[in-house]
């Protein structure tokens, strides 16, 4: 079997000390008789790609190379050099174009995951004995995977540990966000003494600072800030055994349902914070329900779709999502119920979606909704202008009208 790896590249390909060191490490690993499962190493590499410094498409090419190795085990006994042509390799790499294939092969060599063992003329082939055994092969050596298997496994374990911590911290942040929002909400509803406006502003500042694609560092920082804010909220509450507080409201003691989905990032408060009341028809002075198509509403207010657990396919999904977003925006249950009574469920959901779209520009979403509700009560507000403004901001055109 071929065991030499200290070879120089064919043609104009450069040689480097790093490449020579990789060849030496691979040669030593093979000499020690190490053996690894090629697909186990590949799975670890897929998880540790950010640490190793390799991309998805390069990994696809590596998988194609591994498929040309006849055994699952990589060792000196099973051979470590594969020699497919670029055409064969391209077919197993899902038809990757030749220039792209060569670029990713070079990336694998540069990352120290494979080694070129070029023939005198640069072709890939194997020379066999009369008995059919391979005496010498020219192509790509997989020996670095044997040499670096432990390193790759350690990197993959590190990534898995960070992912587990990220999920844990994300859950803790979600719980803190929910608790703080509801505690401030109930304090405002019960008109408790305290600087609740300042606490709410601090809460919004922390929440809005969290990036949509947060890293573990972002989540840790948010958790620390929210934990300190929770201590301030608890101190401000100082609830004693007062019968007025212990009795509570009927709506507060009613059972709520929530759909658990801890893998969905920052769903804030996924519980259906809907007030359990019989829907009230809009008053005679308010505008009638809008007849804008749902697609048009989503085009004008696209951000609300990010808060839907299973997407928004119909008006029911839209209203359910708006009810959840209501808690995220800090709109109190009483303000929400009042809007439902005056504007109806569809218009209220549209208004909440519009408020969400402009959340960074609105200081108090609850106060804004109350102001719009009062205007709607006397017939001075409709959702049309809000939707048109949102559509204009996103470069849309004029809406069509729904039939019926």
Give the Å distances, CA to CA, from 235 to 173, 185, 290. 20, 15, 45
Q: Can you give 315-341 as a three-state secondary structure string?
A: HHHHHHHHHHHHHHHCCCHHHHHHHHH
Considering the domain architecture, whether residues 382 and 279 belong to the same structural domain is answered as yes
Q: Do the bridges between strand 134-141 and strand 115-117 make them parallel or antiparallel, or are there none, so unpaired?
A: antiparallel
State which residues of the chain have pLDDT below 50. 1-6, 10-12, 240-290, 397-404
Q: Would you say residue 152 lies in a domain?
A: no
Any idea which residue has 């759909």 for tokens?
A: 259
Model pLDDT, residue 267: 37
Q: Which two tokens stand for residue 73?
A: 């085990």
Considering the domain architecture, whether residues 37 and 100 belong to the same structural domain is answered as yes
Give the chain's length.
Answer: 404
State how many domains the chain has: 3
Model pLDDT, residue 292: 74
Question: Which residues share a beta bridge with 36?
Answer: 74
Give pLDDT tens digits for 170-207.
Answer: 999 989 988 888 888 878 877 788 888 888 889 989 98
Q: What is the pTM of this model?
A: 0.49
Considering the domain architecture, whether residues 281 and 360 belong to the same structural domain is answered as yes
Model pLDDT, residue 139: 85
Considering the domain architecture, whether residues 127 and 33 belong to the same structural domain is answered as yes
Give the separation between CA 225 and CA 218, rounded to whole angstroms.
11
Considering the domain architecture, whether residues 278 and 391 belong to the same structural domain is answered as yes
Q: Would you say residue 5 lies in a domain?
A: no
Domain boundary among 147, 179, 196: 147
Considering the domain architecture, whether residues 133 and 24 belong to the same structural domain is answered as yes
Model pLDDT, residue 354: 92
Q: Would you say residue 230 lies in a domain?
A: yes
Domain of residue 217: give its range: 162-240
Give pLDDT tens digits for 125-142.
Answer: 677 767 666 667 788 888
Q: Would you say residue 9 lies in a domain?
A: no
Q: Which two tokens stand for residue 129?
A: 């004995």
Give the Å distances, CA to CA, from 88 to 51, 69, 94, 169. 30, 13, 10, 46
Q: Would you say residue 340 lies in a domain?
A: yes
Domain boundary among 240, 260, 294: 240
DSSP string, 192-237: -SS-HHHHHHHHHHHHHHS-TT--HHHHHHHHHHHHHHHHHHHHHH
Q: Would you say residue 400 lies in a domain?
A: yes
């Amino acid at each position: 079997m071929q065991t030499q790896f200290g070879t120089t590249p064919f043609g104009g390909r450069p040689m480097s000390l790093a490449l020579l060191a990789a060849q030496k490490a691979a040669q030593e690993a093979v000499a020690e008789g190490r053996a690894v499962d090629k697909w186990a190493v590949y799975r670890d590499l897929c998880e540790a790609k950010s640490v190793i410094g390799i991309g998805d498409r390069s990994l696809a090419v590596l998988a194609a190379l591994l498929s040309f190795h006849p055994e699952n085990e990589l060792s000196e006994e099973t051979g470590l050099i594969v020699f497919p042509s670029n055409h064969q390799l391209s077919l197993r790499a899902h038809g990757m174009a030749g220039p792209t294939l060569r670029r990713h092969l070079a990336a694998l060599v540069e990352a120290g995951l494979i080694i070129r063992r070029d023939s005198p003329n640069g072709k890939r082939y194997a020379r066999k004995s009369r008995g059919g055994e391979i005496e010498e092969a020219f192509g790509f050596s997989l020996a670095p995977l044997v040499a670096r298997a432990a390193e790759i496994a350690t990197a993959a374990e590190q990534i898995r540990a960070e992912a587990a911590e990220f999920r844990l911290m994300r859950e803790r942040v979600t719980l803190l966000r929910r608790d703080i929002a509801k505690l401030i909400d109930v304090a405002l509803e019960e008109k408790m003494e305290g600087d609740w406006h300042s606490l709410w502003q601090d809460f919004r500042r922390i929440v809005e600072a969290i990036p949509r694609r947060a890293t573990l560092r972002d989540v840790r920082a948010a958790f620390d800030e929210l934990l300190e804010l929770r201590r301030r909220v608890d101190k401000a509450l100082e609830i004693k055994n007062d019968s007025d507080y212990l009795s509570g409201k009927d709506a507060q003691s009613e059972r709520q349902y929530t759909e658990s989905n801890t893998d969905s990032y920052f769903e804030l408060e996924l519980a259906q914070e809907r007030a359990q009341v019989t829907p009230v028809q809009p008053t005679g002075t308010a505008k009638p329900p809008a007849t804008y198509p749902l697609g048009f509403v989503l085009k004008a207010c696209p951000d609300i779709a990010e808060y839907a657990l299973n997407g928004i396919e119909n008006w029911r999904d839209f209203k359910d999502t708006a009810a959840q977003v209501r808690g995220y925006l800090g709109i109190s249950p009483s303000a929400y119920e009042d809007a439902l009574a005056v504007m109806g469920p569809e218009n209220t959901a549209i208004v909440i979606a519009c408020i969400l779209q402009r959340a960074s520009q609105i200081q108090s979403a609850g106060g804004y909704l109350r102001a719009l509700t009062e205007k709607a009560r006397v017939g001075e507000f409709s959702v049309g202008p809000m939707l048109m403004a949102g559509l204009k901001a996103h470069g849309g055109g004029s809406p069509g009208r729904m039939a019926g």
